[in-house]
Structure 1
């Protein structure tokens, strides 16, 4: 394998690099390899709740928004699984997470370029050859002209919980593995009001019977449990048009905008919030206490041993002491800098906050002739669509076109009705 020179090696096989593998499949003259340390494709197993659905339609699969004729589309998967007519009659626009994971596993097992059980430990660059060398824990070494990082994001743990992380404090990514322990506690606090937070609270509420079970508390810094923006024109923030507009803004303005747009990509769906309200109402119909304390506009400022929490109401500044038996942190994820990049650290042009500088083609600014690209690590340069599955296929096609130096996949020039920036006179 060391004698082969690849055009592209993908590090990590999540949905975004899997999309890249699918769109690269069968492209004449293109040699690709994708590596991941896991034994098989696995996507948020701790939140694989039975009835949890994607927040994007099934067309936001690996390929369809770029190439709907691809053999790796969700509809092709349904046909091969013998479920095309049942899916049609079900009239479900949003698949369940379980079905989406099965779809991705189907694609990953069929793509010869995807290799699991190969954890990348080092990415090096040789100026003399203009090639990267990607090394795995098992000793595989692959030389390539381009590297695409698709290592995903890592759980965010608020600073207040740093000292008690080893106690009964879990991130929502581990929820299903610890849910039995949570149900045995007398008091459980969920922190964070995004989709994961709402789903954890709803699931814990549904698991409760008439017997004495955990008192639930839901704490969130946001001022209200507002639903995710899902109007049709609002969703145009998840188009390539908006990405291009956002990328052209000054860095300071981009950094100001992203936190203010939380309702576009961090809120819970209106459906989940509605189901939660219904579950609370039905408990009262059955003569059971709701026993859920919802605290918007409230942040945890300290967590002491024994899970003594100090919370502050943000609007009034009033602080309160709370004792809880367990905490679930539904506090989201953030891009991480993988250890395998250390040999390249001096060659990467980091911004003042230690983030990648990323051009519109998702290529990192480096002092290398070879291309280093990132997927889902460019929220600060490409905006709220970065983690969204709906833009995954388009981004993969942009990267393929860029590294191939030709139009491998034709892409539309206009994707939104909205004109995001000022109209410049011709």
Structure 2
């Protein structure tokens, strides 16, 4: 075992979640850590870094502030170092540009010696007798491999595009997922017709971007969704308290069936479009409609896409208006699928499925402190930062809660309260404590 480098903690993937963990571990603990990502540099959804698109959470939900506002890795310190404090002061907004958040994360990543880009974790197995994980790390360019040891592993492998099964086979340069939008935007705008499918924030931002450029390029623009409407994201302050550790405590104690029933009730808080985006779309449509009988725009909800069929020029979309139970076809040269994402689980983790405890045939069991549950107890733990909605609720992807998640993981690994976790941080009570009378 001495021939391998040994770490207290190895992180697989470097997105915002593991990047925050790397920063907190480096600054607040004596743990020996290493984080690996197969990309060459940090990039956070580069295909959706649209101009004037903002984060949906305040800048305080950066990588570290909620755990340690005195950290040198806070967003405010980044702004200070860039000589942008006064422009930000005059900006007078709590939310920040998505592009700037990406630059901030890259600034942090470039300062952390424990972050290694261009390396892929291609295998991981556990040695029960030694209580360590053996991870095989491959250099993406040279293909050279090495093995490292870790007492604990943290999965931060993020997500991959979710494409409905009828549409998976047709993906190409003309039919793309929204995550790749900016890579194809210029070419798409040269088409005669473009269709956006989906009703979330990404769909709305892409539709707005295309709408702004429509008169210059003169394409027909269509926006379809199978949802019942194009609804606004609920942003009420009391409602937002579900994105708190207090609610996660409550949610995690529910049974699996109760948790599954609870998730749909939180849809308005988790999915939908920011008020500002919907307002910008509607106002642009209104101003542009003055003096015109009809705009070259179609917006329609309650419409499922059963298939996308290639034709000589473009594609035929097989559509179904589910409320009326009526089918129709629509032709479009370009199609953008804003159909969301699903967890990206490494193949080597799937190979361990018989060793893991599962809540159903698709979702593994996770402890309150984010450990995967194994059928046979082990001293070395594997923590997960992804695929947590079924165990930890609507805030599984919330950036602010990710910081508290990292606090909890580091406290568990060190056996100390290196980052104290606050309690009773909300004004409401979610459940009844103690026995029923």
1:192 to 189, 192, 198: 198
Output aligned runs, 1:156-235, within 5 Å: 156-166=162-172, 168-209=174-215, 213-235=218-240
How much does 1:425 deviate? 5.6
Output aligned runs, 1:14-163, within 5 Å: 14-138=15-139, 139-163=145-169
Residue in structure 2 matched with residue 256 of structure 1 by the alignment? 261
Q: Partners in 2 of 1:74 and 1:170 — Cα distance?
A: 33
How much does 1:347 deviate? 2.4
Residue in structure 2 matched with residue 311 of structure 1 by the alignment? 319
Given that 2:198 and 2:225 are in contact with CA atoms closer than 8 Å, whether structure 1 keeps it comes out as yes
Within the alignment, does 1:400 sit opposite 2:410 as a pair? yes
SS of 2:318's partner is strand
User: In terms of mean alpha carbon deviation, does 7-16 or 119-128 score higher?
Assistant: 119-128
Given that 2:388 and 2:396 are in contact with CA atoms closer than 8 Å, whether structure 1 keeps it comes out as yes
Structure 1 167/84 Cα, relative in aligned 2: closer, same or farther at 3 Å? Answer: closer
Output aligned runs, 1:335-374, within 5 Å: 335-342=343-350, 344-366=352-374, 367=376, 368-374=378-384
Q: Partners in 2 of 1:164 and 1:28 — Cα distance?
A: 48
Q: Partners in 2 of 1:298 and 1:2 — Cα distance?
A: 59
Given that 2:173 and 2:184 are in contact with CA atoms closer than 8 Å, whether structure 1 keeps it comes out as no
How much does 1:38 deviate? 0.7
Report the TM-score, using the length of structure 1 for normalisation.
0.95
How much does 1:288 deviate? 8.9
SS of 2:119's partner is coil
User: In terms of mean alpha carbon deviation, does 161-170 or 145-154 score higher?
Assistant: 161-170
How much does 1:13 deviate? 0.4
How much does 1:257 deviate? 2.6
Within the alignment, does 1:5 sit opposite 2:6 as a pair? yes
How much does 1:369 deviate? 2.4
Q: Partners in 2 of 1:321 and 1:260 — Cα distance?
A: 33
Structure 1 132/343 Cα, relative in aligned 2: closer, same or farther at 3 Å? Answer: farther
Given that 1:299 and 1:312 are in contact with CA atoms closer than 8 Å, whether structure 2 keeps it comes out as yes
Q: Partners in 2 of 1:2 and 1:146 — Cα distance?
A: 19
Q: Deviations over 1:95-150 (max 9, x none)?
A: 10111011000100111111111111111111111100121113132211100000
Report the TM-score, using the length of structure 2 for normalisation.
0.93
Structure 1 28/49 Cα, relative in aligned 2: closer, same or farther at 3 Å? Answer: closer
Q: Partners in 2 of 1:164 and 1:66 — Cα distance?
A: 45
Structure 1 67/286 Cα, relative in aligned 2: closer, same or farther at 3 Å? Answer: farther
Structure 1 unaligned residues grouped into runs of 5+: none
Cα RMSD after superposing both structures: 1.8
How much does 1:27 deviate? 3.2
Q: Partners in 2 of 1:339 and 1:89 — Cα distance?
A: 48
Structure 1 342/249 Cα, relative in aligned 2: closer, same or farther at 3 Å? Answer: closer
How much does 1:353 deviate? 2.2
2:428 to 394, 418, 425: 418
How much does 1:199 deviate? 0.4
SS of 2:354's partner is helix
Residue in structure 1 matched with residue 301 of structure 2 by the alignment? 296
Q: Partners in 2 of 1:224 and 1:173 — Cα distance?
A: 22
Given that 1:7 and 1:146 are in contact with CA atoms closer than 8 Å, whether structure 2 keeps it comes out as yes
Residue in structure 1 matched with residue 336 of structure 2 by the alignment? 328
How much does 1:287 deviate? 5.1
How much does 1:302 deviate? 2.6
Structure 2 unaligned residues grouped into runs of 5+: 140-144
Q: Partners in 2 of 1:85 and 1:20 — Cα distance?
A: 29
Number of paired residues? 425
Within the alignment, does 1:389 sit opposite 2:399 as a pair? yes
1:247 to 231, 249, 252: 252
Given that 1:120 and 1:340 are in contact with CA atoms closer than 8 Å, whether structure 2 keeps it comes out as no
